[in-house]
Amino acid sequence: MAQATRSTRDLTPATPSRPGLQIGRPWSARLGRVATGAPDGFRLALRFRAVLSMYLPFLRPGGKVFLVCPQERGYASDPTHVTFTSGRDLMALATDLGLESRPWRSFPLPRATGRWFTYNEFNVLAVKQDPAA
């Protein structure tokens, strides 16, 4: 089985610590590049958003969606991770989909450990609102 590889061409703008790692850019700012020949990571993000939005009509009001993404070390540990997504990005995604987003949390350890602990992740709980309310 062929192993996925990551090239800098497929990654978003670099920071001094790691090529392609972007922190704190809003979800909508990332999606703005899609129309201009976006790299695979952006197309993947759009596909994820499209798939998630297809399921939302089946979620009853008050139903919950739980979003999880790795933090920096976890992102770097797997070549199939193509776009770094922060807790704020997950909250923005949920809001863009019409969900009420709760504040993001770091799990299982505090946020600062995400830079060295592979299994630290961003968690966002979002709730579908009642359209009649």
Domain ranges (residues) in the chain: 18-128
pLDDT tier at 116, thresholds 50, 70, 90: very high
What number of other Cβ atoms are within 10 A of residue 73's Cβ? 15
Two tokens, residue 102 = 């709760």
Percent helix / strand / coil, the chain, rounded to 5: 40, 15, 45
pLDDT tier at 18, thresholds 50, 70, 90: very low
Residue 41 pLDDT: 60
Going along 19-131, which residue ranges are E strands?
64-70, 99-101, 105-107, 121-128
How far apart are the C-alpha atoms of 133 and 5, rounded to whole Å? 47
| Contact between 119 and 108 (Cβ < 8 Å) | yes
| Contact between 114 and 51 (Cβ < 8 Å) | no
Residue 106 three-state SS: strand
Q: Which tens digits make up the pLDDT trace of 58-78?
A: 999 999 999 999 999 999 999
Strand partners, 64: 127
Q: Report CA 75 to chain centroid distance, whole Å.
A: 11
Between 80 and 23, residue with greater pLDDT: 80
pTM higher than 0.85: no
